[in-house]
A and B are shown apart, each in its own frame.
Chain A
Amino acid sequence: MSGGASSWAFGEQDARRIQVILNQFLIDSNARTALIVDRTGQLVATVGEPPVFDSTAFATLTAADFSANDQLARMLGEPEFGALFHQGERESMYLADVARRVILVVLFDNRSTLGLVKLRVRTAVPELVKVFTEMFSRDASASPPVEKGILGDAEDEIDKLFGV
């Protein structure tokens, strides 16, 4: 049993690979924005039109939404709901699982359709799964270390910020 969940690192090379996949996906699907959110609620990447909302809060709620629905699936005897769809009057969102660790969130309006988004997600997800599976299986020590000295500086910042 580990202390906590293992940390993972997301490198610039990973970001570029994901960007290429998602850019192509946005062109093919006519969707506005694609986001990658990890299952703990942290935003990993955003591609396409920059969101006008608070993306940190959005990522947290997305992960909670997906997790809650995961539990509902189990109650129904399903291993998971691999995808979710929320329909609005103008804006809609489609969420798809990637490698059981992150979620692809697609925001689209009436320039696209659910059918088209679903179809293109089917192509994009396996490509994303490949990138993330490689990323998670990579030896953590292969990531560049966080610069030494961050500890002392962080403690000072904590004192300053929470010393209110």
Chain B
Amino acid sequence: MSMINYASREINCKLVYYGPGLGGKTTNLEHVYNKIAPTARGKMISLATETERTLFFDFLPVDLGTIRGFKVKFHLYTVPGQVYYNASRKLILKGVDGVVFVADSQIERMEANIEAMQNLYDNMSQHGYDLTQIPFVIQYNKRDLPNAAPITELQAALNPGWPVEDPQKQRVTADPFRAGEFLVTEQDGQWVERAPYFEAVAMTGEGVFDTLKAVSKLVVKTLG
């Protein structure tokens, strides 16, 4: 729920990084914090345990600058990935404008990924939001590890697509972020849409900004 403040000429958008524990959500934010111009970002806040596991959330405000007289700001949040922190996860989703699901590519984490994705759908719908209708991208992190599952397997498990009911959207749509691939396709007479996906190694920063750029652009589009 982007808030347009005409009094202070500000537009604030909320982006949430979601996903299983130890998947690299905080690492994504840390990389953004370290690489972005210090003038364009605020203080990073981490509500974490002594062992640096996210307890409530991490928060990083990023200032996009003044566009046509409006200061546009993105508020980046992560949620705690551990299963038992669901109450805090759900709270952070309140008012979300865009979601990045950070999946752990390691084959052993497949179950945890699926559980976290299900939990994301559940928590969104409990807030009355429809994940298929808002800016949503998936990041397959830890692509450098030898036990990383193939992308096709991860896509089949985590991004199988949702049915496209709107007749106007029922046409083959290219993936703007991936040449030669499609986001909306027809399969066995049924139109299906998938979320854009990105490969990443958040520890080195690979793919971090591609993911952020994509979700930010999708969010800006919703502003009109």
- Residues in chain A within 8 A of chain B (CB atoms): 1-12, 14-15, 38-42, 44-45, 54, 56-57, 60-61, 64, 67-68, 71, 143-147, 149-151, 153-155, 157-159, 161-164
Q: How far is the CA of A149 from the CA of B70 in the complex (A)?
A: 12
Residue from B72, B94, B125 in contact with A154 in the complex, judged by beta carbons closer than 8 Å = B72
B157 at the interface (CB under 8 A from A): no
Residues of A within 8 A of B64 (CB): 154, 157-158, 161
- Residues in chain B within 8 A of chain A (CB atoms): 1-8, 11-12, 14, 35-37, 40, 42-43, 45, 47, 56-57, 59, 61-62, 64-65, 67-70, 72-73, 75, 87-88, 91-92, 94-97, 125, 127-130, 133-134, 209, 212-213, 216-217, 220-221, 223-224
Q: A146-B224, A157-B65 are in contact. Are A1 and B130 (CB under 8 A)?
A: yes
In the complex, residue of chain A having the shortest beta-carbon distance to the beta carbon of B212? A162
Residue from B2, B56, B62, B128 in contact with A7 in the complex, judged by beta carbons closer than 8 Å = B2
Query: Is A153 a contact of B68 with CB atoms below 8 Å?
Result: yes
Q: A4-B96, A4-B97, A44-B3 are in contact. Are A145 and B134 (CB under 8 A)?
A: no
In the complex, residue of chain B having the shortest beta-carbon distance to the beta carbon of A61? B45
Query: Is B213 a contact of A143 with CB atoms below 8 Å?
Result: no
Q: A2-B133, A5-B96, A162-B216 are in contact. Are A147 and B68 (CB under 8 A)?
A: yes
Q: How far is the CA of A8 from the CA of B56 in the complex (A)?
A: 26
- Could you pull out 20 A-B pairs where Cβ atoms are within 8 angstroms? A4-B96, A4-B130, A4-B134, A5-B129, A7-B4, A8-B1, A8-B4, A12-B6, A15-B7, A42-B12, A42-B95, A45-B7, A56-B75, A146-B4, A146-B224, A147-B68, A151-B220, A151-B221, A157-B64, A161-B65
Query: Is B42 a contact of A10 with CB atoms below 8 Å?
Result: no
Query: Is A150 a contact of B70 with CB atoms below 8 Å?
Result: yes
Residues of B within 8 A of A61 (CB): 45
Q: A5-B1, A10-B7 are in contact. Are A39 and B95 (CB under 8 A)?
A: yes
Query: Is A164 a contact of B36 with CB atoms below 8 Å?
Result: yes
- Measured between C-beta atoms, what is the minimum distance from A4 to chain B in Å? 4
Residues of A within 8 A of B40 (CB): 161
Residues of B within 8 A of A68 (CB): 56, 88, 91
Q: A162-B212, A164-B209 are in contact. Are A154 and B67 (CB under 8 A)?
A: yes
Q: How far is the CA of A157 from the CA of B36 in the complex (A)?
A: 13
4 other contacts beyond A4-B134, A56-B61, A150-B224, with CB at 8 A cut-off? A4-B133, A9-B6, A11-B7, A68-B91
Residues of A within 8 A of B92 (CB): 64
Q: How far is the CA of A158 from the CA of B221 in the complex (A)?
A: 12
Residues of B within 8 A of A146 (CB): 4, 11, 68, 70, 223-224
- Measured between C-beta atoms, what is the minimum distance from A75 to chain B in Å? 10
In the complex, residue of chain B having the shortest beta-carbon distance to the beta carbon of A164? B35
Q: A7-B1, A149-B68 are in contact. Are A1 and B129 (CB under 8 A)?
A: yes
Query: Is A143 a contact of B91 with CB atoms below 8 Å?
Result: no
Residue from B2, B36, B59 in contact with A161 in the complex, judged by beta carbons closer than 8 Å = B36
Residues of A within 8 A of B65 (CB): 157, 161
- Measured between C-beta atoms, what is the minimum distance from A67 to chain B in Å? 4
Q: Which residue among A57, A154, A164 has the maximum number of chain B CB atoms within 10 Å of its CB?
A: A154
- Measured between C-beta atoms, what is the minimum distance from B166 to chain A in Å? 12
- Measured between C-beta atoms, what is the minimum distance from B7 to chain A in Å? 3
Query: Is B42 a contact of A54 with CB atoms below 8 Å?
Result: yes
